[in-house]
Chain A
Amino acid sequence: MNPKTMNKLALTTIKVITGLVVVILAFLLGRILLQGVPHISWRFLTTASQEFVAGGGIAYQLFNSFYLLVLTLLLSLPISLGAGIFLAEYAPKNWLTEVIRMAIEILSSLPSVVVGLFGFLLFVVQFKLGFSLIAGAIALTFFNLPLLTRNVEESLKSVSNLQREAGLALGLSKWTTVLKVIIPEAVPGIVTGVVLGAGRVFGEAAALIYTAGQSASVIDFTNWNPFDAASPLNWSRPAETLAVHIWKINSEGIMPDAAAVSAGTSAVLIIVVLLFNLSARYLGNRLHRKLTSADK
């Protein structure tokens, strides 16, 4: 074939393929939102789920998802900050650091079921925590740590060395320099990573089925004592999240409106994840302006 015709053919193929990918995404989003949004109502968001009759809502699942996310971030943020600081600032260049990096890479590529099963084995069974929010939060922390750590490390590394030298020249310790000079400068990157990770955590189900459990216990939204079993803040109660709820009704749900409930729940899940993705960059930039002397 003439190279020119070949060229035209190939470029057209590439364009068609790209177009198809965009169409696939548009179809997916359209389908989820068009099917699900009509089912979202104030009542859907604020009533408890039903197992046998139609008309169940997702109030507990929605709250559990957010609470679990908060617990996960509380656990994983300090650890990944520490680990990220180590890798970016303190890690010597030797084989041990290579091994550590390799370990983090392996953790990030482990199937989330395996992480969930490990959480089940160690925390639910061995430490007798039972199916609980805290076991779920720990499993999600393991799942979230490698990405967050890498994100912190990269954000710290992208800060100019001049800033480090300036801090040290003022007589600050290296640690204080990192904490007070480098981290504020790196905040946009860190926050963007945290919020994107939050979206991933919010939609995760495989790691939660056997850690946070598959049942949403009844909670009483007027009782805010974290040590009371009926309190929303209690972290040793089993807690089904939105993502687990979708899985559960589709694999063993027997309520007559299972399809409608899962469509509505999927739409809520997607909307929240989209909001996380959209707000990630905006939040990062805003915080950067607040923490440093950068204008505008």
Chain B
Amino acid sequence: MDPIKTKIQTRSKETRQEIWGQLLSYAAIILIVAVVCSIFMFVASKGLATFTKDHASLRDFLFTTDWSPTTMGKDGRPLVGALPMIAGSFGVTVLAVIFATPFALGTALYMTQLAGKHGQKLLQSVTELLVGIPSVVYGFIGLNVVVPFVREHFGGSGYGILSGAFVLFVMVLPTITSLTVDSLRAVPSHYQAASLALGATEWQTMYKVTLRAALPGILTAIVFGMARAFGEALAVQMVIGNATLMPHGLLTASSTLTSVLTMGIGNTVMGTVGNNALWSLALVLLLMSLLFNLVVKWIGRKGRI
């Protein structure tokens, strides 16, 4: 056959490379999506088994406080009251974010509005280093510094929601700070120039113009901080005391969804009601993280004028 004809009619080397390459990159992305889907499917099927197979009631799970899944209640259903853990998780999360937000806002304002080049660089590395410290190390410091501190100055055993919130405060601080910095930097500088030209002081400009323009970004930062606090396991588990009782205050030993999970999964047998109940807690965690994502999306849509 004519060599030119074959050359035109068959696929060139480049085309074959291209097909190969596309296949590889599609395969990679499909793999990631499949992983996400299977995480949801597996955790959901395990977590729902408590209600479908072991006949626990969803209302008990969400609103009662007796957590001992292996014993049966009076109505013949397992006692799976997860309210203490849910309350514990929300307690540490909300407190940590309340502590961290003023610090994060202050630092971010200083970084973007007041600091010189060197100050910015220094604070940039401060936040990066804080992110870099592993969570078990935070837990270890919490055990050795925060717990004794709380015991001495606030009373109680030192283990409890307050200690958990203190540890999480340092952990979410860099998350909220760096995202707030991004949103403050995105405010066009002529907004500030206009305000200053009207005779407003620096603080008035920050408070009335910059912070307001950056509000959606700041809210997103706070939600991401909450997501991180809610999902953090070991650092909290080490300082919270791990008692699956309804917290009676900030200073009594309590527990969070993540702490019960880390302690429990190894001590229960797969497929038993005790184990399934733990997977239900994991499902709650999963759904909460999905919710945080949706809130971020929603803020993003609202914030775009």
Point out the residues of chain A lying under 8 angstroms from B238, CB to CB. Answer: 247, 250-251
The answer for the CA separation of A111 and B291 in the assembled complex, in Å, is: 13
Closest to B239 in A: A250
The answer for the CA separation of A98 and B29 in the assembled complex, in Å, is: 13
- The size of the chain B interface, using a CB distance under 8 A, is 83
Q: Within the complex, which residue of B102, B177, B204, B290 is in contact with A3, where a contact is CB–CB below 8 Å?
A: B204
Point out the residues of chain B lying under 8 angstroms from A142, CB to CB. Answer: 35, 39
In chain A, positions 82-120 with a C-beta closer than 8 Å to chain B are 82-83, 85-87, 89-90, 99-100, 102-107, 109-115, 117-118, 120
Decide yes or no whether A17 CB sits under 8 A from chain B: yes
A173 contacts B15, CB within 8 Å? yes
The answer for the CA separation of A205 and B102 in the assembled complex, in Å, is: 30
A86 contacts B289, CB within 8 Å? no
Point out the residues of chain B lying under 8 angstroms from A45, CB to CB. Answer: none
Closest to B223 in A: A109
Point out the residues of chain A lying under 8 angstroms from B25, CB to CB. Answer: 82-83, 85-86, 89-90
User: Which of B67-75, B80-88, B153-161, B257-265 makes up part of the contact surface?
Assistant: B257-265
A7-B201 in contact given A113-B285, A115-B39 (Cβ < 8 Å): yes
Decide yes or no whether A43 CB sits under 8 A from chain B: no
Decide yes or no whether A132 CB sits under 8 A from chain B: no
A106-B290 in contact given A117-B43, A210-B266 (Cβ < 8 Å): yes
The minimal Cβ–Cβ distance linking B254 to chain A, given in whole angstroms, is 16
The answer for the CA separation of A79 and B25 in the assembled complex, in Å, is: 8
User: Which of B1-9, B53-61, B134-142, B186-194 makes up part of the contact surface?
Assistant: B134-142
User: Which of A55-63, A217-225, A267-275, A288-296 makes up part of the contact surface?
Assistant: A267-275
User: Which of A25-33, A46-54, A158-166 makes up part of the contact surface?
Assistant: A25-33
Interface bits A257-277 vs B (CB < 8 Å: 1, else 0): 001001100100110011011
Q: Within the complex, which residue of B21, B103, B201 is in contact with A175, where a contact is CB–CB below 8 Å?
A: B21
A199-B132 in contact given A142-B35, A175-B20 (Cβ < 8 Å): yes
6 extra interface residue pairs, beta carbon distance < 8 Å, beyond A90-B26, A100-B32: A17-B107, A22-B123, A109-B224, A203-B132, A206-B233, A210-B266
29 pairs of residues in contact across A and B, judged by CB atoms under 8 Å: A3-B203, A7-B202, A11-B203, A14-B114, A17-B107, A18-B106, A18-B107, A18-B123, A21-B177, A25-B129, A25-B130, A81-B28, A82-B27, A83-B32, A86-B29, A103-B32, A109-B289, A111-B289, A112-B231, A117-B265, A118-B38, A172-B14, A174-B21, A176-B21, A244-B136, A246-B139, A250-B143, A259-B144, A270-B137
Q: Which 4 A-B pairs have the closest CB atoms?
A: A203-B134, A111-B231, A82-B28, A175-B21
